[in-house]
Chain A
Amino acid sequence: MTIVDASAPEAATVSTDGLLGGYRLMSGSFDEMCGEGGQPRPHWEYVARALDLLGAAELRDRDRDLRGILRENGVTYNVYANAQRSERLWALDPIPVLLTSSEWNTIEQGLIQRAELLDLVLRDLYGPRKLLGRGTLPAAVVYAHPGFLRPCDGLLPSTGQWLHLYAADLARHADGSVCVIGDRAQAPSGMGYALENRTVLSNIFPSLYRDSRVHRLALFFRSLRGALNRLDPAGRENSRVVVLTPGPESETYFEHAYLANHMGYPLVQGSDLGARDGHVWLNTVDGLRPVDVILRRVDDVYCDPLELRPDSLLGVPGVLAGARLGNVALANPLGTSLLDNAGLMAYLPALARELLGEELRLPSVQTWWCGDPQQREHVLQNLSALVIKPIVPHPIPASVFGAVTSAEQRARVTEEIRARPHLYVGQEHVPLSTVPVFVDGRLEARRMVLRAFLAGAEGGYVCMPGGLARVAGHADSWIVSNQYGGLSKDVWIIASEPERQVALPEPRMEPLAVTRDGDDVPGRIADNLFWLGRYSERAEASARLLREVLLRLIGSDRAPGDAAFRILLGTVTRQTCTYPGFVGVEAEATLAAPEGELLAVLADRNRVGSLRYNVEAIVRAARSVRDRLSGDASRVINLLEREFSQACDVEAAMRALQRVITLLTAFAGFCGESMTRGQGWRFLEIGRHLERAVSTIGILDCLFAPAEPNAPALWEALLAIVHSAKTYRRRYRSRLQPVPVLDLILADESNPRSVAYQLAQIEARVADLDTARGARRGAAARLALDALTRVRLFDVESVVPMAEGDAALRLLLAGLRERLSALSNELGHQYFTHVEPPQQLVPLR
């Protein structure tokens, strides 16, 4: 392989001054933007001129905005380098790739033909296998491919479309002709990122986007929704479609949540589903709900541990039997990974002639399958000129031999091919087209692969007008992969005529029945929402406590060794459970110089119980329920994570705390204002109130000590921490007395910060949970009512004659704590039913 140096003398340069002036073409590659003379192609002229006018400085600003939007929207991609997962911000270049609608039309026709062809191939190979009998396709292309799943043989019905979703990776030869370099059929990824890219780009270039007459993506997603609905085996109007994800650790989890959200389907994991009675059910807090269609993002072999990979925890045991019985449909059906098969490419022209009676319109990269002796010889003779690949797509390019250069490599590859010839292909080397990428304030040519997406439609396929372009991470790199630092681009199909009216007729125009349903909450989601509520409240309580302590630390009126301040520091340790901290016999030194410990409780992510630790727990819980939160609420969460990097001294910590408190309040507000009052919201609210009750009880226990000589100072701190100082002052001016303090914080149900208020809310929400399920008052509701009644019956005046009054208060607080903890467990037991992972029975030998 030869790598063309962008600065090589033969490289042509665009003559324009400004941004375009520095754009250097790569020789040997077709450039998307510029023709051979270095001038922008006609369909690029408008965008090229606009970019040039914007200039590097402005484009840099837009690029910053773009990254800001991606960050706020939490658009991420999980990277598995060095066996350690890290979540990386989605990389999007601000410059779109442009194609004319007339060229796209040709590509589209080719892709539709290809999808139809692959669908026919799939149906034959999992059915009569006439292609193998007639010898059109060598048997080993099928039988040696691990994607040929024998349990799926004969699974699919004999009519209708089986390949519902299909993606193809497209590349250009040096002469600009387009070919397919990869087929992705089992669970193609990227269409959600394509949609997000479009959203972001239309946001940062509103007028450029508007004036460029770009084909919209919305229709494609409407077709997809229609295709999924049509899959419902029972043909119902309102079928239940779910999106099955491997979970937040999955590479493209963001996209799963984004698509689920965009299409209005619940996002579920295997453990949320169960097979019973030959059907698949979604386990919700309201009981089991039948699932009709599964849009899966889990690979074939992981979908059913009974019949496929027994060690999979991502699937649903029995789902294949449900599909076989015709009770549930999967998109794509299990077994489609057989089409992700480079060996097939060598035979597609013949297959097109045989199955369609047509020539293949869109060629594949020229491919020689080594299972055929003649083709194998060609490959072995031309090892250095060809790209050698396994027929099974592999995410790690190291397994792709690539072009073979050294003699030693040649020997190794030859040996491997001879040992398992049917598992390898040789492919011609496609130079890939280049496209301008904005890096370091200038445009640089990088190689690109474009992924196109198709969805089944009545009588054929619909192609997304656009796609996901991926470009190499470096100017001289051939590896176009998000796992290896590549960038993505939006793809604009530019209408040469006014926007094509491809509008599908609105599928069904019958009036919709009004419903307030549509809120299936799986137990796992309820669990995460509950803990999201708890963690966000816990974080807020810690933040308010820390702020109060830091204020006093900065304030000059504090006498050294101030007893009240020491109690306050102890409260920090007790409330955040960051022992030993300021508590215990060893604490003297820490108490004398508390800054370090306070900053650690604020910002040390490795300290269990620290504010940052809680914020990370919020982020995790929020990620698991991503599709349930409003965009605004998610954005706030994404901003929260960034507040800690600066908190290295007390002043900076104060500023960080202020912002964290504001963000947490904003998060609570967004949830309160935009979540429907369904079961999901109830769990979030119960979690929030339960945590606030627990933390207020804890604060009372620590700081409400009327016998203490400096009690008033503590009461003042107490009122400030629970955010009730203003109310107190309005009612009682500046006279601090124990009974009014206790009444306001413990018993006053009109104070949204009081314990009684939290308990009343919990009682009401828990009762609603039961009502919504049509159940009578359960154990959780009884515990909530018990706790509330205890507070209501407690006589706050009785604490004034100190000794026994204080004992009664401690008893009450202990009783409340116990009930709240039981309530939390009861909810977990009743609703979050953590199904134990399934286990394999010892197979019979």
Chain B
Amino acid sequence: MRFSIVHTTRYRYALPASLCHNEAHLRPRDGCGQVCEYSRLVVEPTPAVLHERVDHFGNAVTYFAVQEPHRALTVTVTSRVAVDRAETLPNTAASLPWELLVERVREDHGPADGGDDAREFALESPMAPTTAELAAFAAPSFAPGRPVLEGVHELTRRIYSEFAYDPNFTTVATPVTEVLAQRRGVCQDFAHLAIACLRSLGLPARYVSGYIETNTAPGVGGLRGADASHAWFSVYEPTLGWIDFDPTNNQVVGRRHVTVAWGRDYGDVTPLKGVMFAGGAHRLEVAVQMTREEG
């Protein structure tokens, strides 16, 4: 499967801004069942400084600064990504009993290949804290000795069925405990909730940001999270590696998901953030176009 993705973000300011520093996590990753064949990031107005780097988690990060007075800032990322993943979960029953994984991760010495250190993802992070309530919410899915991926799969299903998708309830800053109490949120919230639950049990889980293909057939409801960036989570199993789950759509992360970046939580991989001087109030518009390419 090959997708062409155009992700446009536009900020409009009430007054001209004199200077704006930004950081973007918008270029899709390579590996993890996909190849980013092409990605181009265009900023309007042309930034005076633009610097690409790879962050702590291996994501591509773009720093740029617009130094001329401007009333709008547009960032357009055009990418082509070839995806080749299984559409089904691996044999979940064959995964490690979850308690054993908790122990393994603790005693592990980290990856030899310079990849992600699972130990880092078993610890709480600012947006995915570990609490007794979260552990209690997760507990019914993690009976003693249960294979970890079975438990995670069930937890994903429970979040999907027990929580309402409600874009008007949460903001970027809504704590996950509030999401748990109110049983509603959007894809970022559900990803954080799952991650926080797993970490509260001592399991390693990471946050994944990316895109999901909309169901374009007329009369069929589109998948949630398709208008902008989407988010899900991934859990680590030593023999199988990182396995992704999408609690918003109760889906296996297969050929319709494109991974952009991952980290401990949203704070590590915010698609676009910035600090500006002057400019007054501002508005944000986002559009994502994801089209399947034939052949």
Interface residues of A (CB under 8 A from B): 129, 132-135, 139-140, 143-144, 150-151, 153-154, 274-278, 305-307, 310, 317-318, 321, 324-325, 419-420, 422, 835-836, 838-845
Contact = CB atoms under 8 A, between A and B. Distances in A.
B112 A275 contact: no
Q: Which 4 A-B pairs have the closest CB atoms?
A: A139-B119, A841-B274, A317-B275, A153-B56
A839 B275 contact: yes
B112 A143 contact: no
A325 B51 contact: yes
B74 interface: no
A143 B23 contact: no
A844 B109 contact: no
Nearest to B11: A841
B119 A306 contact: no
B123 A306 contact: no
A182 B83 CA distance: 51
B21 interface: yes
Interface in B35-67: 48-49, 51, 53-57, 63, 65, 67
Nearest to A135: B109
B284 interface: yes
A843 B120 contact: no
B23 A845 contact: no
A835 B274 contact: no
Given A305-B275, A307-B23, A844-B271, A278 B286 contact: no
Nearest to A152: B56
B171 to A, nearest CB: 9
A277 B112 CA distance: 38
A153 B120 CA distance: 14
A839 B229 CA distance: 23
Contacts of A154: 53-54, 56
A321 B282 CA distance: 24
A308 B273 CA distance: 12
B180 interface: no
Contacts of B51: 278, 321, 324-325
A680 B272 CA distance: 41
B172 interface: yes
Contact of A140 (B123, B271, B284): B123
B53 A324 contact: yes
A420 B199 CA distance: 12
Contacts of A836: 277-278
A310 B9 CA distance: 20
Contacts of A310: 273, 275
19 contacts: A129-B110, A129-B117, A132-B110, A143-B123, A150-B268, A154-B56, A275-B21, A275-B65, A306-B274, A321-B21, A324-B53, A835-B277, A836-B278, A841-B73, A841-B275, A841-B284, A843-B270, A844-B272, A845-B271
Given A139-B120, A842-B282, A151 B275 contact: no
A232 B80 CA distance: 42
Contacts of B272: 841, 843-844
Contact of B109 (A132, A307, A843): A132
A144 B123 contact: yes
A318 to B, nearest CB: 4
A274 B109 CA distance: 42
B279 A140 contact: no
Given A150-B268, A275-B65, A276-B65, A844 B56 contact: no
B181 interface: no
Q: Most A CB atoms within 10 A — which of B23, B268, B278?
A: B23
A439 B229 CA distance: 66
A792 to B, nearest CB: 41
B252 interface: no
Interface in B188-237: 188, 228-229
A78 to B, nearest CB: 28
A143 B21 contact: no
A844 B277 contact: no
Contacts of B273: 306, 310, 840-841, 843-844
Contacts of B56: 150-151, 153-154
A388 to B, nearest CB: 20
A277 B19 contact: no
Interface in B57-101: 57, 63, 65, 67, 73
Contacts of B120: 139, 143
B11 to A, nearest CB: 6
Given A143-B120, A318-B21, A844-B286, A276 B274 contact: no
B276 interface: yes
A139 B55 CA distance: 19
Nearest to A371: B106
A335 to B, nearest CB: 11
Given A132-B109, A151-B55, A278-B51, A844 B21 contact: no
B124 to A, nearest CB: 8
Contacts of B119: 132, 139-140, 143
A424 to B, nearest CB: 14
A276 B275 contact: no
Contacts of B274: 306, 840-841
Nearest to A279: B49
Nearest to B275: A317
Contacts of A135: 109
Interface in B136-152: none
B19 A276 contact: yes
B110 A139 contact: yes
Nearest to A133: B110
Contacts of A321: 21, 49, 51, 63, 65
Contacts of B22: 306, 841
Given A324-B63, A840-B273, A841-B73, 16 more contacts: A139-B117, A139-B120, A143-B123, A150-B55, A150-B57, A151-B56, A275-B21, A276-B67, A324-B53, A836-B277, A838-B275, A840-B274, A842-B282, A843-B172, A844-B228, A844-B272
A843 B9 CA distance: 11
B275 A133 contact: no
Contacts of A838: 275-277
Interface string B126-144: 0000101000000000000
Contacts of B123: 140, 143-144, 422
A845 B229 contact: yes
A839 B279 contact: yes
Contacts of B282: 841-842
Contact of A317 (B21, B73, B286): B21
